[in-house]
């Protein structure tokens, strides 16, 4: 077995690692939220867009869709998937847009890629500035007080004569404002196994803290993390979907 302690470019594995995600269901959920809460405009931006699967669906829904990500190889794949869209390499906490938008999303808990409460606060302010009147910001989040540090679910897949095993989990030490997303990939081909590990530092906060950060900028709704139904979040669940309607 060969081992690599850290890899920095997930782009070649990203779509395979996320093969079980129903991107259309998630995209349609946010489209419905926009119909309920938004201004009915069609200018859309996906933060931390990765390889662009959500953007592909929003284009098909009739939106003018664009994406932002920190990882250029991810954006290169996204551009091939969505040639109609424009993609920009940016850190989300430094978000700048050429014009204001009607809808901004941040799927797959990626809002946590802000590494501190200070950078998250800056990110929220920049998102507010990037939205048109009545525009909305939609994202999902995890409450630090509910994180289970045990190993996450493993997913086994095959591609190009190789067997892959992907595993991911949250880790929070119990104090402070940082948590980790821990990832591992195991690839076996012709009896040779390679193993990668990675740890992404991310912001950790409670839902109460998150609401307090959002409320100066947005009218906030916290919803159950259920892509089939739009319903209020129930206390006790550690996952939730946030909708912010721009104030001012």
Quick: pLDDT tens for 131-150.
999 999 999 999 999 998 87
**Range 2-10+145-203 classified under CATH 2.20.130:** yes
| pLDDT value, residue 5 | 37
Q: Give which of 207, 203, 222, 223 is closest to 143, Cα–Cα.
A: 207
Task: List Cα–Cα distances, 117 to 190, 209, 212, 222, in angstroms.
Answer: 46, 9, 11, 19
Q: Label residue 196 by pLDDT band (50, 70, 90).
A: confident
| pLDDT value, residue 235 | 84
| pLDDT value, residue 15 | 81
Helices (H), 72-164: 72-81, 117-130
* DSSP 8-state code for residue 150: S
> Do residues 95 and 127 lie in contact, with contact meaning Cβ atoms separated by under 8 Å?
yes
Arithmetic mean of pLDDT over the chain: 92
Question: 44: helix, coil or strand?
Answer: strand
CB atoms within 10 A of CB 125: 15
Convert the pLDDT of each residue in 206-230 to its tens digit: 999 999 999 999 999 999 999 999 9
At the topology level, CATH places domain 21-144+204-246 in Rossmann fold (3.40.50)
> Do residues 205 and 216 lie in contact, with contact meaning Cβ atoms separated by under 8 Å?
no
Calculate ∠ Cα 21-44-72, nearest 5°: 65
More confident residue, 197 or 176: 176
Query: Who's near 62: CB < 8 A, 6+ residues apart?
Result: 42
Structure tokens at 41: 């405009």
Percent of residues, the chain, with pLDDT higher than 70: 96
Convert the pLDDT of each residue in 86-135 to its tens digit: 999 999 999 999 999 999 999 999 999 999 999 999 999 999 999 999 99
Mean pLDDT of 72-94: 96
Alpha carbon 225 to chain centroid, angstroms: 14
φ and ψ of 40, to 5 deg: 70, 5
| pLDDT value, residue 183 | 86
Q: Label residue 10 by pLDDT band (50, 70, 90).
A: low
| pLDDT value, residue 9 | 62
User: On the CB side of 221, how many CA atoms lie within 13 Å of its CA?
Assistant: 17
Q: Is the pLDDT of residue 245 over 50?
A: yes
Mean pLDDT of 154-174: 89
Structure tokens at 166: 């992907």
Query: Who's near 93: CB < 8 A, 6+ residues apart?
Result: 114, 119, 120, 122, 123, 126
> Do residues 67 and 53 lie in contact, with contact meaning Cβ atoms separated by under 8 Å?
no
Q: Is the pLDDT of residue 201 over 50?
A: yes
Structure tokens at 55: 């953007």
* DSSP 8-state code for residue 145: G
Boundaries of every domain in the chain: 2-10+145-203, 21-144+204-246
| pLDDT value, residue 4 | 39
DSSP secondary structure string for all residues of 160-221: TTEEEEEEEEEE--SSSSEEEEEEEEEEEETTEEEEEEEEEEEE---HHHHHHHHTTTEEEE
Mean pLDDT of 35-62: 97
| pLDDT value, residue 7 | 40
- For residue 76, the surrounding DSSP H or E stretch is helix 72-81
């Amino acid at each position: 077995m060969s081992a690599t302690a850290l890899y920095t470019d997930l782009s070649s594995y990203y779509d395979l690692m996320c093969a079980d995600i129903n991107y259309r269901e998630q995209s349609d959920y946010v489209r419905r939220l926009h119909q309920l809460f938004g201004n009915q405009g069609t200018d859309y931006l996906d933060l931390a867009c990765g390889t662009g699967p959500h953007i592909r669906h929003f284009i098909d829904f009739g939106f003018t869709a664009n994406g932002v990500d920190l990882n250029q190889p991810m954006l290169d794949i996204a551009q091939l998937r969505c040639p109609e869209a424009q993609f920009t390499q940016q850190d989300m906490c430094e978000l700048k847009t050429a014009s204001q938008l009607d809808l901004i999303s941040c799927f797959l808990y990626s809002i946590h890629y802000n590494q501190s409460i200070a950078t998250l606060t800056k990110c929220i302010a920049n998102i507010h500035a990037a939205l048109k009147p009545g525009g909305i910001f939609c994202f999902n989040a995890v409450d630090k007080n509910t994180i289970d540090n045990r190993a996450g679910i493993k997913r086994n897949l095959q591609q190009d004569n190789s067997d892959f095993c992907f595993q991911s989990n949250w880790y929070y030490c119990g104090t402070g404002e940082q948590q980790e997303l821990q990832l591992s990939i195991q690839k076996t081909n012709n009896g040779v196994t390679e193993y990668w590990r990675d740890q992404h530092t991310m912001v950790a906060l409670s839902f109460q803290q998150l609401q307090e950060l959002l409320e100066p900028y947005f009218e906030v709704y916290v919803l159950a993390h259920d892509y089939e139904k739009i319903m209020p979040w129930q206390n006790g669940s550690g996952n939730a979907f946030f909708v912010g309607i721009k104030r001012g």
